[in-house]
Amino acid sequence: MANDELDCLTCGACCVSPFLGQGYVPLEPEEEERLGRLGLPVLQIVAGPAEERLTLLGTKINNQRHRVCIALEGVVTEKVHCAIYEARPEHCRRFERGSPECLQARASLGLEL
């Protein structure tokens, strides 16, 4: 399947967390405050000294029992959209349709590559 045939609005695989934890998307310091003001759950994980903390945007369990980004709305693999698309984190902005990460996320859900 060519990159231009991959439709992000019917996929959502990149927003499905492969992890069991409560957070998924890493945030930059300025994003932490901005998204927190929007009322979104922002989690802090401290792996050691305070300087080594990691801030993540929270996740939720959707109706398909997937752990997904808190901002993802709709049904994964059918029709989805990002509720904060214009304000989405830089990490999400850098994610490219058709990239190895995209194809891996699609494969994990059993979608055509």
Ordered by start, the domain boundaries in the chain are 3-108
Contact 43, 22 (CB under 8 A): yes
- Cα(31)–Cα(9) distance, integer angstroms: 24
Query: pLDDT of 2-50, one tens digit each?
Result: 666 899 999 999 999 998 889 999 999 899 999 999 999 999 887 776 6
Q: pTM for the complete prediction?
A: 0.87
